[in-house]
Amino acid sequence: MSSPNGTPTKITQGSKTKGGIGESTLRPDGTLKVTGEFAYSSDMWHEDMLWGQILRSPVAHAEIVSIDTSEALALPGVYAVMTYDDLPTAVKNYGLEIQDTPVLAHGKVRHHGEPVAIVAADHPETARRAAAKIKVEYRELPVITDEASATAPDAILVHEGRDDHHVGHVPHPNIVHRQPIIRGDVQEASKKADFVIKGEYTFGMQDQAFLGPESGLAVPDEDGGVHLYIATQWLHSDLRQIAPVLGLPERKVRMTLSGVGGAFGGREDLSMQIHACLLALRTGKPVKIVYNRFESFFGHVHRHPAKLYYEHGATREGKLTHVKCRIVLDGGAYASASPAVVGNAASLGIGPYVVDDVEIEALALYTNNPPCGAMRGFGAVQACFAYEAQMDKLADAVGMDRVEFRQLNAMEQGTIMPTGQPVDSPAPVAELLRRVKAMPLPPEQQWLAAGEEADVRQLPGGLSNTTHGEGVVRGVGYAVGIKNVGFSEGFDDYSTAKVRMEVVGGEPVATVHTAMAEVGQGGVTVHAQIARTELGVAQVTIRPADTQVGSAGSTSASRQTYVTGGAVKNSCELVREKVLELGRRKFGSYHPAWATAELLLEGGKVVTDGGEVLADLVDVLEGESVEVEAEWRHRPTEPFDLRTGQGFGHVQYSFAAHRAVVEVDTELGLVKVIELACAQDVGKALNPLSVIGQIQGGTTQGLGVAVMEEIIVDPKTAKVRNPSFTDYLIPTILDTPTIPVDMLELADDHAPYGLRGVGEAPTLSSTPAVLAAIRNATGLELNRTPVRPEHLTGT
């Protein structure tokens, strides 16, 4: 692991107490969620509460000529209607990095569905009716929807008068951020290439599609503040953005995490948080806002759609000579996390391969399309889709097996990234490919039931009964990806944990308190396992996450087990030393081992490293309690140079490889994914069951964007055409294939317990593996996601 200041220290085994790290302990919230008893943020209730509603723009780009709220205010049951002019302070914008997003639209709207006004009423239907009575006159403006319209010399500016810190290094004000990465000499290296492959790829806009829509409850406090109960990914980031708009000090904006029904990046940005607080403070009553599914498609950011242009070269022997690529991400109307997504796409743009000569350009656009930001694997997902397609094409040109070609060029520990950063932990790319290729293939024609009759449930099209096996062809494809772990490019990435140890009911109990957002990843389980391991107690209480403890950072970037787990471990170690010091003062004079041996806490006792019991923890803690609140930081990173892209930008990398097996009805253009086998290095599986669940979940999201998921935006009007789960399709259990997982555990000496973030890497490689398998079955080029039937049939 790393110590709090980031310097490497020895990895210790810790306690052998049951339920510690390395065990597949069950989640405390699992049964409640399965039975429907778990309380999500949308289930919250408060006596005498009001209901909030948001009026959204029906057009993507327009001047606001006038707003008339009189009819809405006159409706019985309405307590408040607010527009931009009613905001209480001079701070009227917010944002993760660039504060360019207005709380309520002012002067113009920049995307379809932008909030224009908010209403509070005594019934949700009354609030909806009142919002519908607000009269807004718009004067529509031309829309910016792609790179050509965004960067034309006479292009309309999405944001006039930009003054953020990125504007000085972008070639056009409609470019949010641009990051080049240059290493070696691509032009000279290309002369050594016997084969050069070029490709243009299109990646569709994916929605996080979490099952629990945006919701929260704001309760005004007696001191003039407000208490917000909210489903989010980062309590303290929300707090930092909310308090200035309300005109309150942060201590008067209290935030408690409520049940989160999934996140995947879509809850990093604010949605209804400020609106609920504004209405609660205006009315003096609790205000609850719950989006419906239609609203949810407009209420959070999505995955950036992208255009990717690649050139790869290789020698006759199969060694890569150079890679040149340009990645254009559509950030939509507001910045959100676009700068970080650009940094990831650029720095990870060539994949987990050794290439000495690289020229990369990545950029994100401002357009009038829906805002895009964080989503699982952001930036790296789009790049992986393109570079893995290129690797297949190049292997075919060279005449090599596609997996062997990847293994020949695979990075390993010690490889220098295009950013100049050495990979200083295990990078078993070739081994992961070997493992996933060695897995047994599923049997052919498993859709044949007894008597040679086709079981249509196992065929492309499923229960639609469209085929009985005619024209069905099998394909197999491989892909591998690289993803960074944790915040990067000089961000001060830290977390805080408060740990208390005391005697409750006659036994020692540890209490862990962090602000970590539990969004379904299982962090609350891991924190209890760490406390049991380090403190040797059976009973661990996890307090609800809130802002009464220091920040835990965002539940994103596969960082929470690494960073907040590191903070819990650090705090537990400090508590352990204080407990042992108590024991030394009480009992040390009776036994010399107190002073000389390395003492451990196991099973509620103090023991020597040889297993000799010195005291019960109950006796040590009698009449005492020990509490520590401490931060933990991983080693520092640095920003990428804005001209060359060089820099120690990432703290850790994770790797996953997939093999996809598909069956395609080539006549109807239907695809059935039979299997998505995965091999992944997880460093150390703190909870193997949860790790496998994360890998399978990430794999399934990659499958979705491969064959069905895409938000369709009209290129002429920039309006969303499919904001519902009727028209935006996500994989169901009938679409989800068998997902066998082979976990490799190669410890990263810089990380707590040697662990490696796991949640995002499988989302990268599953998508290109499915596309590769479909190409293998059909012989088609297929350079876009998702693949639709018309792409396979030519209709």
Neighbours of 647 (CB within 10 A): 22
Q: Does pLDDT of 648 surpass 60?
A: yes
Looking at the fold, whether 666 and 787 belong to one and the same domain comes out as yes
pLDDT band for position 451 (50/70/90)? low
Q: Is residue 505 part of a domain?
A: yes
pLDDT at 9: 32
Q: Is residue 123 part of a domain?
A: no
pLDDT at 640: 98
Helices (H), 12-69: 30-35
- Over pLDDT 90: what percentage of the chain? 92
Angstrom distance (rounded) from CA 646 to CA 416: 11
pLDDT in tens, 475-497: 999 999 999 999 999 999 999 99
Q: Is residue 663 part of a domain?
A: yes
Q: Is residue 258 part of a domain?
A: no
Looking at the fold, whether 627 and 747 belong to one and the same domain comes out as no
pLDDT in tens, 149-191: 999 999 999 999 999 999 999 999 999 999 999 999 999 999 9
Domain at 503, CATH number: 3.30.365.10
Q: Is residue 712 part of a domain?
A: yes
CB 435 within 8 A of CB 742: yes
Which among 25-39, 443-457, 560-574, 600-614 has the top mean pLDDT?
A: 560-574
Q: Is residue 226 part of a domain?
A: no
Q: Which residues pair with 721 in a beta bridge?
A: none
pLDDT at 470: 87
Looking at the fold, whether 664 and 750 belong to one and the same domain comes out as yes
pLDDT at 7: 33
Q: Does pLDDT of 689 surpass 70?
A: yes
pLDDT at 5: 36
Angstrom distance (rounded) from CA 4 to CA 569: 10
3 state SS of 585: helix
pLDDT at 582: 95
Looking at the fold, whether 442 and 500 belong to one and the same domain comes out as no
For residue 558 the two structure tokens come to 């596969």
pLDDT at 450: 60
Provide mean pLDDT across the span 254-277: 97
Taking Cα atoms as reference points, which of 68, 64, 164 lies closest to residue 106?
64
pLDDT in tens, 59-87: 999 999 999 999 999 999 999 999 999 99
Do strands 784-785 and 600-602 pair parallel, antiparallel, or not at all (unpaired)? Answer: unpaired
**Which range among 9-13, 506-510, 656-660 shows the weakest confidence by mean pLDDT?**
9-13
Provide mean pLDDT across the span 1-17: 43
pLDDT at 448: 78
Neighbours of 292 (CB within 10 A): 13
SS3 labels along 536-557: CCCEEEECCCECCCCCCCCCCC
Looking at the fold, whether 549 and 671 belong to one and the same domain comes out as no
Q: Is residue 765 part of a domain?
A: yes
Looking at the fold, whether 575 and 702 belong to one and the same domain comes out as no
pLDDT at 15: 64
pLDDT at 194: 98
pLDDT at 663: 96
Q: What are the backbone dihedrals phi and psi of residue 160, each rounded to the nearest 5 degrees, phi first?
A: -75, 145
Looking at the fold, whether 462 and 501 belong to one and the same domain comes out as no
pLDDT band for position 452 (50/70/90)? confident
Give the single-character DSSP code of 444. T
Of 573, 607, 633, the residue at which a domain comes to its end is: 633
Provide mean pLDDT across the span 569-579: 97
Domain span holding position 521: 30-36+494-633
Looking at the fold, whether 512 and 607 belong to one and the same domain comes out as yes
Neighbours of 188 (CB within 10 A): 11
Identify residue 405 by its one-letter amino acid code.
Answer: F
pLDDT at 244: 98
Q: Does pLDDT of 469 surpass 90?
A: no
Looking at the fold, whether 502 and 625 belong to one and the same domain comes out as yes
Taking Cα atoms as reference points, which of 108, 102, 341, 388 lies closest to residue 206?
341
pLDDT band for position 602 (50/70/90)? very high
Identify residue 693 by its one-letter amino acid code.
Answer: G
Provide mean pLDDT across the span 314-333: 98
pLDDT in tens, 395-424: 999 999 999 999 999 999 999 999 999 999
pLDDT in tens, 528-557: 999 999 999 999 999 999 999 999 999 999
Q: Does pLDDT of 256 surpass 50?
A: yes
pLDDT in tens, 732-785: 999 999 999 999 999 999 999 999 999 999 999 999 999 999 999 999 999 999
Q: Does pLDDT of 366 surpass 70?
A: yes
pLDDT band for position 468 (50/70/90)? confident
CB 273 within 8 A of CB 122: no
CB 301 within 8 A of CB 336: yes
CA distance to 29, 53, 156, 267, 556, per residue, from 40 (Å): 11, 19, 42, 14, 20
Provide mean pLDDT across the span 32-61: 96
pLDDT at 597: 85
Looking at the fold, whether 437 and 522 belong to one and the same domain comes out as no
Of 579, 604, 633, the residue at which a domain comes to its end is: 633
Domain count, the chain: 2
- Over pLDDT 70: what percentage of the chain? 98
Dihedral of the alpha carbons of 659, 665, 670, 675, in degrees to the nearest 10? -20
pLDDT in tens, 93-143: 999 999 999 999 999 999 999 999 999 999 999 999 999 999 999 999 999
Angstrom distance (rounded) from CA 111 to CA 115: 10
pLDDT at 13: 45
Looking at the fold, whether 451 and 551 belong to one and the same domain comes out as no
Provide mean pLDDT across the span 239-245: 98
Q: Does pLDDT of 2 surpass 80?
A: no
- Average pLDDT score, the chain: 95
Angstrom distance (rounded) from CA 17 to CA 29: 22
Q: Is residue 272 part of a domain?
A: no
Looking at the fold, whether 659 and 600 belong to one and the same domain comes out as no
